[in-house]
Amino acid sequence: MNGTINYRRYLAGDDEAFIEIVKEYKDGLIIYLNNFTNNIHIAEELAEDTFVKLGIKKPRNTEKSSFKTWLYVIGRNIAIDYLRKKSKSKEIPINDNMIFEQESIEQSYIKEENKLLIHKVMRKLKLEYKQVLWLTYFEGFTNKEIAKIMKKNLHNIETLVYRARLSLKSELEKEGFSYEDL
């Protein structure tokens, strides 16, 4: 709810409210966008583009979902546009199995060892699995909110969560860890 209130304050002319929005949502948005780009630096740029769009164009939030959900939808759309442009120019290959860069922002964001293990194993998963697990466990979104972010229906998300969990379990077992212990 803070995001919605701060965005309203910003639209009313309070620039400090925009700074608060960026501070609150920047790290999580960067990590989420990293799932698309497999490059933390590009993810940072896309997050910056998301906030620039929010600050300059001042899109209207219909408040049909939480502010965070709405912000992540904007970020996702910017990431997809970026990937479309890059795939047309063939500058970067789009490959779900690319290894993510390990950067200090991830290390500071994910503190506990079990979360680090899950994060490491999630790199091996399909892009949609990584996204849905990240949004569920690290960002705390509901399946309904995830459906809005990923532009899928609720049943598809429930199925995707189920399959992503099975895939994660399999990868964790390959690493020698029991899924139930985490």
Question: Which sequence spans correspond to the domains of the chain?
Answer: 1-100, 110-182
CA 75 to the chain's CA centroid: 8
pLDDT reported for residue 90: 56
Look up tokens 């390959």; give the residue: 174
pLDDT reported for residue 103: 38
Comparing 1-100 with 110-182, is the CATH topology the same? no
* Amino acid making up residue 69: T
CATH architecture classification, 1-100: Orthogonal Bundle (1.10)
pLDDT in tens, 86-120: 877 654 444 443 334 333 334 344 344 556 666 67
pLDDT bracket for residue 145 (50, 70, 90): very high
pLDDT reported for residue 182: 47
pLDDT reported for residue 85: 86
Distance separating alpha carbons of residues 68 and 87, to the nearest angstrom = 28
CATH of domain 110-182: 1.10.10.10
pLDDT reported for residue 8: 85
pLDDT in tens, 20-77: 999 999 999 999 998 888 889 999 999 999 999 988 888 777 677 788 888 888 999 9
pLDDT reported for residue 2: 78
Classify 58 in phi/psi space as left (phi over 0), alpha (psi -120 to 50) or beta. Answer: left
Distance separating alpha carbons of residues 51 and 111, to the nearest angstrom = 26
Q: How far is the CA of 80 from the CAs of 10, 45, 87, 88, in angstroms?
A: 27, 13, 10, 12
**38 three-state secondary structure:** coil
Copy the structure tokens of residue 124: 């091996």
* pTM of the full structure: 0.60
